[in-house]
Structure 1
């Protein structure tokens, strides 16, 4: 059976999702993305309150145009204590799609489907892809070893092939797309579309400081390193002098606490909160404590442009 295209799944003009990025994504970016003929997604965690999340949905619904589509990303594991309420709001108010990350998407798939919402699940390997296929996901987002933030361990070509051969689900590739040539490469491997994040950090509409945006222009692929110091899960960041100073490995105390089964969950939650706070400060204000999350595809960011001009680089 032939797999649907991303354009047919989301009624978009181009096979692109602007990836959900903590702090970076906002309604302005999504609206400009929709106007440019692509889908775009915001982490539900970018909104502190459920009321703010609702307001964002109202704004996006009012601004929706043919050829564009909007969705939200849900962290579906226990570290996100707001998850159930966020899911309820998304289903009640209605969105085009939900992307799930870091946990079992079972409840999200069941509830979203009742509301007519499509669910795409982040996966990093075939084992998890098969699980989400059984649960009824509409597509899988293949997070490869070139992605920004929490990335996978498998090269895009290998991962897309494994998922296409091992499941019947459409595969959307995430990671390693900074220009049109790289986008076409992912499609040639068998992806129905791509999820692109880091190139949109250096956009006028992104909700972060000018310093963060400029860093994505000034630094390149060789400056991206993995750190365990943010969320407890390895994450890619720009190797700024501050990151070099604090190091990228967990401290001996964090290591010890993480080995204690009864404490591990709480340690991860506290680490997540501390790390998130550090990233928030660095992303929204000029500070010497610069922890800027990004992926190697910033290599192709040569200026701070509009979302429209960045989309055009991929499709024109």
Structure 2
């Protein structure tokens, strides 16, 4: 399974364990690297720059041949820690950075100075062309089968459109839960895949057993879009609590969102409230079960170590 992604990251298989807010950690990525794939953690999973630095040092100590590690950076103004996080990543060193939600120009510039590759989340051709022009090393093509904040295009349409008009590698994100799904994405022209939701139900994931078991018990038909977390449509498991509160923004939020001056603040407040609720549900048992996941949990039938999940993906 040698592709441009395996060449870029010196990994054995063209798979990235996707960065997942609250879920991804050093233990998960270490096992991913040992299994011959890449692993990635959101920088925001660490509350301080010191903790982020410590995670990088641990991953460097755990790195083995055939695996690699990286971090996800939110590069817009909503991430007040962005500049400090970028500085730490460039100082300590990692194999790659995945950028989200904003212009990756500064990240690409600083990361390339120290030999770190930069992949950029994109959902359409317009933004893909922009980041390619800025020097991105690859595109993370977020399709409409992804978990969390997803794109609007199908995997096939998005991959083929980006390959037609861009010259850098396309890594498909969304809709991969088994080996057949990987083969499908590669057949469309992807050079690799980013896989998230199947790894929630891993023994190494630092979330509640209830969250992990939900990924086993629920399937693709139980994934719904909600506006009640970040203000932007996001996929979650349709638990009784989600059904109770509904998936649409409240009438007050809709009204305030029409006000140009207030829209920004409404989104920030909704994002803060939603993230706190998501963190509580992920870290401790609560009746307010808001669990983020994608339809690829359809193939999750038991809680397994990361190495066994990888084995199922590449077997």
TM-score bin, normalised by smaller chain: over 0.9
Q: Which residue of the partner structure matches residue 49 of structure 2?
A: 50
Q: Which residue of the partner structure matches residue 218 of structure 2?
A: 219
Q: Which residue of the partner structure matches residue 252 of structure 1?
A: 251
Deviation digits for residues 252-285 of structure 1 (CA, Å, limit 9, x no counterpart): 1111222222222222222111111000000010
Alignment of 1:197-208 (within 5 A): 197-208=196-207
> Structure 2-normalised TM-score?
0.98
Asked if 1:271 corresponds to 2:233, the answer is no
Q: Which residue of the partner structure matches residue 39 of structure 2?
A: 40
Which whole-Å CA distance do the structure 2 matches of 1:209 and 1:257 have between them? 35
Q: Which residue of the partner structure matches residue 149 of structure 2?
A: 150
Contact 1:4–1:170 (8 Å) recurs in 2: no
Q: Secondary structure at the match of 1:61?
A: helix
Which whole-Å CA distance do the structure 1 matches of 2:50 and 2:74 have between them? 18
Report how far residue 190 of structure 1 moved: 0.3
Per mean C-alpha deviation after superposition, the further-off stretch among 7-16 and 260-269 is: 260-269
> Structure 1-normalised TM-score?
0.98
Q: Which residue of the partner structure matches residue 17 of structure 1?
A: 16
Q: Secondary structure at the match of 1:54?
A: helix
Q: Secondary structure at the match of 2:139?
A: strand
Which whole-Å CA distance do the structure 2 matches of 1:170 and 1:195 have between them? 13
Q: Which residue of the partner structure matches residue 179 of structure 1?
A: 178
Q: CA RMSD in A?
A: 1.0
Alignment of 1:53-64 (within 5 A): 53-64=52-63
Q: Which residue of the partner structure matches residue 27 of structure 1?
A: 26
Runs (4+) of structure 1 exceeding 4 A deviation are none
Q: Secondary structure at the match of 1:250?
A: coil
Which whole-Å CA distance do the structure 2 matches of 1:249 and 1:290 have between them? 17
Report how far residue 233 of structure 1 moved: 1.0
Report how far residue 78 of structure 1 moved: 1.4
Report how far residue 4 of structure 1 moved: 6.4
Which whole-Å CA distance do the structure 1 matches of 2:87 and 2:266 have between them? 28
Report how far residue 81 of structure 1 moved: 1.0
Contact 1:32–1:307 (8 Å) recurs in 2: yes
Contact 1:125–1:159 (8 Å) recurs in 2: yes
Deviation digits for residues 135-188 of structure 1 (CA, Å, limit 9, x no counterpart): 110000000000000000000011000000011110000000110001111001
Contact 2:3–2:192 (8 Å) recurs in 1: no
Q: Secondary structure at the match of 1:40?
A: strand
Tell me, which stretches of 5 or more residues in structure 1 are unaligned?
none
Alignment of 1:1-316 (within 5 A): 5-316=4-315
Deviation digits for residues 21-59 of structure 1 (CA, Å, limit 9, x no counterpart): 001100000000000000000000100111110110010
Contact 1:224–1:296 (8 Å) recurs in 2: yes
Which whole-Å CA distance do the structure 1 matches of 2:110 and 2:261 have between them? 31
